[in-house]
Structure 1
């Protein structure tokens, strides 16, 4: 009997959010997030090298996730919501052969 092979380990749900620049009541620029779609992810650990790089860039990476490949996602226009916590996307690494991408996330200020 052949052992079962798990082909999809992405079992956690996150919301992909569009980042929209708006103006608040006092005419100051404000960032708002609107829901785009649900995506499934697999949590990954944050490496020491990535921690060091993120400190240099003034944004501390607190979480890394693996999602299915989506070429429309970029660091400027999108964010991720996991539960009630919003995250900015700091870095995107893609693996075209496996059709997946890793996102490095930091807390929204």
Structure 2
């Protein structure tokens, strides 16, 4: 299976920065970095259980090309107008892919 042909959906990779608004309240700002292409993969029951133990509710898993610059702390995704935080990254270096577990932004 060719990875090039299987990545059929587009998401917006966002950089997350913390800043302060005009009333000195902390605020999270998301800015677009670039588009990434992905394919949807299912959530396993084990991952659902482990995410609830860690107080993060994983609602979506995607597979995309391997990119070392993406991290859980500094990046998020925008898919179909819905913002997601990255809760877990699993890298498959032999096929140059990475799996991202996503949770809704609180």
What TM-score, normalized to structure 2? 0.95
Q: Which has the larger radius of gyration?
A: 1
Q: Which has the larger share of helix?
A: 2
Matching of residue 42 in structure 1 with residue 62 in structure 2: no
Cα distance 1:100–1:7, how it changes in 2: closer, same or farther (>3 A)?
A: closer
Give the one of 53, 60, 63 matched to 2:60.
63
Unaligned runs of 5+ in 1: none
Q: Say what the alpha-carbon RMSD is for the aligned residues.
A: 1.0
2:13 corresponding residue in structure 1:
16
- CA–CA distance in structure 1, aligned partners of residues 69 and 33 of structure 2: 12
Cα offsets for 1:83-107 (capped at 9, x unmatched): 1100000000000000000000000
1:98 corresponding residue in structure 2:
95
Cα offsets for 1:5-29 (capped at 9, x unmatched): 6542000000000001011232111
State the 4+ residue runs in structure 1 displaced beyond 3 angstroms. Answer: none
Unaligned runs of 5+ in 2: none
- CA–CA distance in structure 2, aligned partners of residues 25 and 53 of structure 1: 39
